[in-house]
Structure 1
Amino acid sequence: MKKKSTSSVALLAALASFGLPGAAAFADDHPQDQPLVVGSDFGVAPWMVRGAAGPEGFGVDLITAIAKKIGRPSVDVQDINFSGLFAALFSKRIEFTVNPLNITQERSEKMLYTEPFFATGNGFLVRKGEKLESLDGLKGQVLAVNRGTISDTWATQNADKYGFEVQRYETFPDSVQAVITHRAFTALNEIPTTVYAASKNPAIEVGFKDFNGRNFGYAFRYGDEAYRDKVESAIECLKQDGTLAQLYEKWYGEKAAEGTALTTVYAGYGAPGFKGYDDKPHDLACN
């Protein structure tokens, strides 16, 4: 964490006295002796799924490791459909999001991001044996998406360009089922999610991968910069000591590529090039 000057401490106290984000908000919203309360859609394997003993997956292992780094006693992951996730964040039902959330300019106007820690793109699932060799193959087809996701945004923006119809579902498994039952030709989601889904279901395969430079990050409320920085420092330490790469290999079955967001520690705090980014350098203090 960055050291605060005497004037900074006084400013935080003044902000707290007016009910604005500051020291009091930090303590009230993130009680150090209580479980870390975060939110994610449980329907995105292998990021986070409901297991016999509770949620499990890459995202669970990651936030558990982060909680340990920042000194929280445990983690309480709330299962929230993606369409309701941001409302849960802004109403303070959760402290921050831990779902596979794309960093976008539009979202950064409303939410405060950590630095990127996972690279992704568009993955198109089709029935086993079907062919989709390019985006042009979507013409005249029905494409299923998880409502409110970046995949939904991409589909909405590109439906006319490529000539396909969009069907929206509340969960990713529902969109996959639409493909299997011939209600849709393809289901669109993040590349790692579709690769994993295809490895577990012989009825589907990844028809096409569109790597486009997107990255995932956690999202916080504006005014929560101090806690965002604390969590991001933990993420950076997990990159530095190789934990993040190990978790990726454990859950996705392949080694993390060097030079991607899985292994790169970025200067400053937040997502470079997006609103909320603080470019001031800082030293890591990993334990």
Structure 2
Amino acid sequence: MKKLLLSVLLGSAIAASSAASAATILVGTDAGLAPFEFKDPKTNEIVGFDIDLITAIAKAVGDEAKIQNMQFAGLIPALQSNMVDVGAAAITITPERQKQVLFTDPYYDVGLVMVIQKKNEDKFKTLKDMEGKRICAQIGSTGSILASTVKGATVANFDQIGEAFMELKMNGCDSVMVDKTVTLYYLTKHNDKDILMVPHVYNPKQNGFAVAKNNKALLDKLNKGLKIIKENGEYDKIYEKWLGKKPDAQQK
């Protein structure tokens, strides 16, 4: 009887210790970039590739991810002021951003494309054709940064990329600079025949989760979790759920 009681007490102590060591990771995202992060129209819950991924990473290291929605442009300032612990919003790793925050190991390859109205298919074929034109993008995005380098172009920035697509459809701009995966998902879901994606990919880079410069411990923990879910197959399951079968390049 004493042995049984000791066993129960020991088990309770271990469980309590485990619960005490678990942490809640506050994750900032911008739920307007399907399929990476967006609000489910039926439940209003924030879902997507990044959301499932960061949740699985946190779970793999014994923690819990709590998602907080905010504007994309506010993510890095929120990390720097410790309002959130992690930025998970299809954030492209760039030298400029690496000066402001730390990035995890890359988890997805990305590239920018130009989206135009179908009626301009023969008129706008390259970024050079956008010289002196009006380009829409999401504020703070790499698409906006690239658009700002086009000679004589006027860049219209929006909080949500869906607003940029709408502006294009209403003849408010000549093109939208946006991530290729986001574009493919949008075109598939909306069956929009008035706009099309110019196939050339600009600025191929990689996405990573971001943390504050002084939070190396969390960075190491996230990288550990990412490695675990890649090795146990969870990453592949999440990838296929949101993005379809992985191309060979993504399997490396």
TM-score bracket, normalised by the shorter chain, equals 0.7 to 0.9
Q: Which runs of 4+ in 1 moved over 6 A?
A: none
Aligned partners of 1:236, 1:147: CA distance in 2, in Å?
31
Q: What is the CA distance between 1:127 and its match in structure 2?
A: 2.5
Counterpart Cα distance in 1 of 2:33 and 2:180:
12
Q: How does 1:199-210 map to 2 (within 5 A)?
A: 199-201=188-190, 202=192, 203-210=194-201
Equivalent-residue separation in structure 2 for 1:46 and 1:121 (angstroms) = 15
Could you list the per-position Cα deviations for residues 138-177 of structure 1 after superposition, in whole angstroms to 9, with x for gaps in the alignment? 2343210111111111111x221xx432111111111111
- Conserved? CA contact 2:167–2:173, under 8 Å: yes
Change (3 A) 1:242 1:117: same
| Alpha-carbon distance between aligned partners in 2 of 1:226 and 1:235, rounded to the nearest angstrom | 14
Note if 1:189 corresponds to 2:178: yes
Determine which of 112, 130, 133 is the counterpart of 2:125: 133
Between 1:52-61 and 1:207-216, the stretch displaced more is 207-216
Task: Give, in angstroms, the shift of residue 258 of structure 1.
Answer: 2.8
One-letter amino acid of the structure 1 residue matched with residue 181 of structure 2: P
Q: In the alignment, which residue of structure 2 is the partner of 1:155?
A: 147
Question: CA offset at residue 32 of structure 1?
Answer: 4.5
For residue 60 of structure 2, the aligned residue among 69, 72, 91 is: 69
Q: Which amino acid aligns with 1:125?
A: V
**Contact 1:113/1:217 (8 A) holds in 2:** yes
Alpha-carbon offset, residue 107 of structure 1: 1.3
Specify every segment of 5 or more residues in structure 1 that has no aligned partner in the other structure, as ranges. 1-30, 265-287
Residue 129 of structure 1 and its aligned partner are, at CA, apart by 4.4
**Deviation string, structure 1 residues 213-271 (Cα, Å, up to 9, x no partner):** 30000111122112211111111222223332332222123x222344xx34xxxxxxx
- Map 1:95-174 → 2, pairs under 5 A: 95-131=85-121, 132-156=124-148, 158-160=149-151, 163-174=152-163
Q: Unaligned regions of 5+ residues in structure 2, if any? A: 1-19
One-letter code aligned to 2:139: R
Which one has a larger percent helix, Structure 1 or Structure 2? 2
Q: Which has the higher strand share?
A: 2
> How many equivalent residue pairs?
227
- TM-score (ref. length: structure 2): 0.83
User: By how many angstroms is 1:33 displaced?
Assistant: 3.8
What secondary structure is seen at the aligned counterpart in 1 of 2:35?
coil
Counterpart secondary structure, 1:223: coil
Structure 1 residue 177 corresponds to structure 2 residue 169:
no
Write the distance in 1 (CA, Å) between the matches of 2:24 and 2:195.
38
CA distance in 1, matches of 2:232, 2:117: 40
Corresponding letter in the other structure for 2:226: I
> Does 2:209 match 1:222?
no
Q: TM-score scaled by structure 1?
A: 0.73
Q: Deviations over 1:88-112 (max 9, x none)?
A: 1111111111110111112112211
Confirm whether residue 78 of structure 1 aligns to residue 64 of structure 2: no
- Of residues 50, 58, 72, the one that matches 2:49 is 58
Greater relative CO (CA pairs within 8 A, separation 6+): 2
Secondary structure class of the residue paired with 1:247: helix
Aligned-partner residue type, residue 252 of structure 1:
L
Larger gyration radius, structure 1 or structure 2:
2
Q: What do you get for the CA RMSD once the two structures are aligned? A: 1.9
Kept in 2: contact 1:121–1:209 (CA 8 A): no
- Given that 2:30 and 2:37 are in contact with CA atoms closer than 8 Å, whether structure 1 keeps it comes out as yes
**Is the 8 Å Cα contact of residues 134 and 153 (structure 2) preserved in structure 1?**
yes
Task: Give the secondary-structure state (helix, strand or coil) at the position aligned to 1:159.
Answer: coil
